[in-house]
Amino acid sequence: MAGNFRSYIWDPVLIICQIVLMQCVYYSFLGLWMAGVDSLVHSSRSLDQIFSYELLGFATMQGRLSMMAFILNSLTCALGLWFFVRRGKQCLDFTVTVHFFHMIGCWIYNSHLPSALSWWLINVACIALMAVIGEYLCMRTELRAIPVNTGPKSNL
C-alpha cells in the first residue's frame, strides 16, 4: 500500500466535469471582466468582444482594455485551477484545453481561424500566465506539511 500514495486513478467522468467546469469559469469571469471594461469606456456589450479576434489590438483603447480583461481573466482562471483541479501536473493540460476550446469557438463564430497576430499573442500570454500561476498555487497546496496529531496516544 505504500506505493499507492498520491496515485492517479483514471476517472474520465471527473476529467470531463473538470473541463466543463473550467470552461464555465473561463467564460463567466471573462464576461464579468468585459462588463467591467465596458462600464469604464461606456461601450455596448457584445459577443464580438469575446469571440471576434479583430477587436483585440493595441491600436484602440477598446482593444487594449479587452486585452487587459483577457489577462485578468487568466489570473482568475488560475484561481479556478487551484480550486477545482488541485493538481499541479494537470494545470498546463487544463489551461491548454480551455484555450483550445476557446479557439474552436472563435473559429466557429468567425467562420475561419483567427489571423490577427494580437489574438495569438494575447492567448499565448494568457496560457503562460494561467498555467504558471495555477501550478504555483497548486504546488503550494500539495507541498503543505502534513499535520501530525500531537494529542494523547491511546494504548493499544
* pLDDT tens per residue, range 10-36: 788 989 999 999 999 999 999 999 999
Looking at the structure of the chain, the number of domains it has is: 1
Q: Does 124 fall in a domain?
A: yes
User: Model confidence at 142, in pLDDT bands (50, 70, 90)?
Assistant: confident
On the question of pLDDT at 6 being above 80, the answer is: no
In the chain, the amino acid numbered 33 is W
In the prediction, which pLDDT does 145 show? 65
Q: Does 90 fall in a domain?
A: yes
Residue numbers of the domain that contains 99: 12-37+45-142
Look at residues 88, 85, 70, 84 and name the one whose alpha carbon lies nearest to residue 133. Answer: 88
The answer to whether the CB of 73 falls within 8 A of the CB of 126 is: yes
DSSP 46: -
Cβ-based burial of 145 (10 A; exposed 0-12, middle 13-18, buried ≥19)? exposed
Q: Which three cell numbers stand for residue 44?
A: 455596448
User: Model confidence at 7, in pLDDT bands (50, 70, 90)?
Assistant: low
pTM of the model: 0.83
The answer to whether the CB of 132 falls within 8 A of the CB of 93 is: no
Share of the chain above pLDDT 90, in %: 51
In the prediction, which pLDDT does 150 show? 67
Q: pLDDT for 55-92, tens place per residue?
A: 888 888 888 888 999 999 999 999 999 999 988 889 99
Torsion angle, alpha carbons of 131, 137, 138, 140, to 10: 140
Q: Does 122 fall in a domain?
A: yes
Q: Does 29 fall in a domain?
A: yes
